[in-house]
Amino acid sequence: MTSPRPERGYLLCTMPRSGSTMLCDLLTQTGVAGRPNSFFRPQSMANFAADWGVPTQTLGSFDQSYVDTAIAQGTAGTGCFGMRIMWQNNMPGLLKRLGDLFPAASTDLERFTAAFGKLRFIHLLRRDKVAEAVSYAIAEQSGLWHRNADGSEMERIAPPAEPIYDYDQIHSLYQEVNDGHTHWQNWFQDQAIAPMRVTYEDLVDDPATQLRGILGHIGLDPDKAANITPGTAKLADQRNTDWVARFRDEAGLAPAPQPT
């Protein structure tokens, strides 16, 4: 049996290295916007299930109990559910699970509503896709994905290694992030969803203003963004700048897009 759904909820739709960890932290700090996380990231689901004590005897019971517990975790007692989802390797699998759980629903949006309640959608993207791909490549090679605001390591997935410029890797990741955000745009159009669009560049430049706007979009008090500061540190350094310029030159790409 499905548990009651929270009154409010949102889905943070994005791709890697778009500032989503920073935004999830800011939203959590407000104390009213839940505790968003990548609950349906395939590589993390087994760990989440183990931590939550979710039964896994059958696929059906696993999915329903997992969804209910993910909602409780993503709401964190605030009355607002938050979740982050990447496209590649995340969204297609989630859509299949929701299709299995709610076969009577005729659209993806109806399945999301049946599973999580009424949602608002936020599309977080990075204007400079080359910078996104370079950041992605460096994170994969170095093993370090995020630092805390004080400079200490927040998330490391591999032993430290010195990154080496690799055109082919950056090109592959450049295509991946472009494809992912295109998939999101097409999906929003197909489902007649009008998401709030937030760019990484604007979020980094003025997190307080972006957070206020997001809270308002969700239906929460924008003033809850007051006095909240990012808990993550920017990782990009001169190496990122150099690799971006080198890749653009080698790939014959135009200069980075500027704000409009």
pLDDT in tens, 96-107: 999 999 999 999
87: how many CB neighbours lie within 10 A of its CB?
20
Q: Are the C-beta atoms of residues 217 and 116 closer than 8 Å to each other?
A: no
Q: What is the pLDDT of residue 46?
A: 85
Burial of 195 (0-12, 13-18, 19+ CB in 10 A): buried
Q: What is the pLDDT of residue 103?
A: 94
Task: Enter the tokens of residue 26.
Answer: 């800011």
Q: What is the pLDDT of residue 200?
A: 93
Q: Which letter does DSSP use for residue 226 in this model?
A: T
Low pLDDT (below 70) residues in the chain: 1-3, 56-62, 144-149, 151, 153-156, 158, 231, 233, 235, 257-260
Q: What is the pLDDT of residue 91?
A: 95
pLDDT in tens, 200-235: 999 999 999 999 999 999 999 999 999 888 767 676
Q: What is the pLDDT of residue 3?
A: 67
Q: What is the pLDDT of residue 257?
A: 64
